[in-house]
Amino acid sequence: MYKLIKPVHGVNGSPISIAPGYPDLEDQFNEMGIPFIRAHDLYGPGDIDNGTLDNKDPGSYQLLLMVPEDKKWHGRKVYADLTNKRSIFPNARNGMKNNSFEEAVSQANYEPTDAYFRKIINNERNSNPYLKREVMCRIGRSFLGSANPPENFQIYAMLAAELVKRYSVNYMNIGMKRPVMYYQIWNEPDLGIFFADSDPKVYYKFYGTIAREIKKVAPNVLVGGPSIAAGQGIHSPYGCGFLKACKDNSFPLDFYSWHLYLHDKADPVQVAASARLNRSLLDELGFKHVESYITEWGMTPYTTHETQNKMQSAKNAAFIIQSLIFMVYRDVDKAFYYRADGGTLGIFNDGNRYTYPAQAFYLFNLMFETPYYKSNIDIQFENAKYGYIELEGRSEPNSFPRRRKLLVSTYFLDKDFLKEGYPSKKYKQYYLDTNRDVDNIQDQYSIDKWFGGKNPKNMYSNNIKEDILDDHSPEAVNPEYRRYGFTGHNAIIQDPREPRNVTAYIITEGGQLDNIRPSSVMSENIKKTKVKTDTGIMWKVAVANIQQDSVVLLDVEYS
């Protein structure tokens, strides 16, 4: 029985420059065919009430990783001002403290979020022809935007409802051509650095209050959470406990979201195992209608100069493709890689217009031209032991010309890859321009670019308060998976029809990076032969001897 490939190639990050020093990547996002973008860690846009302090060690701040050492201390203020001033409700905390919604919603800075959401959704030039660009709005704050739970859950829910009215009901009034349809409530509440209250019942109440308020405003939008950091911890208070709380209290829940970073055990087999655990949990608890979303995933959450470079390698491209294929086989409904722009852990750098991971997303998107597949998960688990897995797609049976595509990744687990000192190519990275003090940005181009046309001198935040952190970091479950040696692999498609056109692309370290389309496989490395099999005469098309940590897309068109 054939199934349809699901669009699991969503991302975190923005095609619109997130801050001074970072690039616009609209063309690249379109060429990659990115269908879903999670508006999280945009450092202001999409955030309700950031209260970022500027007194921490510089190493704590995202966007300061690549800043020159002598600029980092000053960069703390630029980072905090940018994040705080661009968040939407500058008086949210005072309004909650005074039990006044009118005060909490006053002097709203909608302009930055309007501009980002409008550009992200409207910019579909050369985009995925099979899927429309959509945004998931994360209700909450960007990284370091304060871990204090809101002081008045009902008022915070009413603020969230204001976002829904603006971006899902009256969206055309600000020039958006389609509404925001997905709202995720908070981020990683199982980590004290995001939700400084170790009692999970506090989050349950918080989630339920906001979810109900959102559904009052727009019953058709989808709400979910909790974006649990320990995505394999299904028996935790934020796994099974959260779902039972939703069931017992009839909280609206359209999707259950979880995260998965693997680091030294960066094995895509674990992506498949985690997806199976979460889907099984939902089904067992009677949530078969609730979708399973991985709202953050990647090799590692740990950011250094070295890991930043490694995220842009061909090895990570192969990891991404294997993970996406396993998500398809394991019925993940949506997934959002962290992250696909030039920010921390991002796949773009200042040395190349394109990167190998960007090419990987491009090849995966091409599979939607042949979107029908048969699940053979057991075979792929066995293949993964030898360092490769495959996804074969077919065009609709009655379509002409008929096509078949085979997407292959030969990623092989190397536990030393992410260790400091492991050899890797170094790229020139983007970083925050700490010379652009927010208070001194007065040219119209910059005001339009990063503040949606509103002068930052007229923007402020009364939400700043010292966090009292409660450390309740979860322990992730990371079982070992046995692996055998990799000896090369051949990508093969067999069909009784004679192939009319054959094309193949390859991503491998050292390949060309001047285009989103990877290097073509040399014609002499593509073999077409007629063979006799148990089922009769077949035409075999093969790309031979694919090397380790590579991605190949074999595309065959028949008469």
**Average pLDDT value over all residues in the chain:** 93
pLDDT band at 455 (very low <50, low <70, confident <90, very high): very high
pLDDT score at 11: 98
pLDDT score at 536: 84
- Checking if the pLDDT of 150 tops 60, the result is yes
DSSP H helices, 259-414, are: 268-284, 305-310, 314-329, 356-366, 377-384
pLDDT band at 161 (very low <50, low <70, confident <90, very high): very high
48 domain residue, yes or no: yes
CATH number at residue 135: 3.20.20.80
133 domain residue, yes or no: yes
- Checking if the pLDDT of 408 tops 70, the result is yes
Number of CB atoms found within 10 A of residue 382's CB: 11
74 domain residue, yes or no: yes
412 domain residue, yes or no: yes
- Checking if the pLDDT of 129 tops 70, the result is no
pLDDT score at 131: 72
pLDDT score at 478: 61
176 domain residue, yes or no: yes
Domain tally for the chain? 1
Percent of the chain past pLDDT 90, that is, above it, reads 81
pLDDT, tens digit, for every residue of 485-500? 888 899 999 999 999 9
**pTM of the model as a whole:** 0.96
Domain that holds residue 115: 2-458
Q: What is the mean pLDDT of residues 359-372?
A: 96
pLDDT, tens digit, for every residue of 378-401? 889 888 888 899 999 999 867 666
pLDDT score at 126: 58
- Checking if the pLDDT of 479 tops 70, the result is no
pLDDT score at 480: 65
Residues 6+ apart with CB under 8 A from 269: 326, 381, 384, 481
519 domain residue, yes or no: no
- Checking if the pLDDT of 258 tops 90, the result is yes
3-state secondary structure of 506: strand
Number of CB atoms found within 10 A of residue 98's CB: 15
pLDDT score at 233: 84
Q: What is the mean pLDDT of residues 453-482?
A: 80
Percent of the chain past pLDDT 70, that is, above it, reads 96
- Checking if the pLDDT of 99 tops 90, the result is yes
Q: What is the mean pLDDT of residues 333-343?
A: 97
pLDDT score at 127: 53
The crossing angle, in degrees rounded to 10, of helices 444-451 and 69-86 is 70
Q: Determine phi and psi for 385, rounding to 5 degrees.
A: -60, -25
- Checking if the pLDDT of 476 tops 60, the result is no
Q: Determine phi and psi for 238, rounding to 5 degrees.
A: -100, 0
203 domain residue, yes or no: yes
DSSP code, position 48: S
69 domain residue, yes or no: yes
- Checking if the pLDDT of 125 tops 80, the result is no
Nearest to 37 by CA among 126, 137, 106: 137
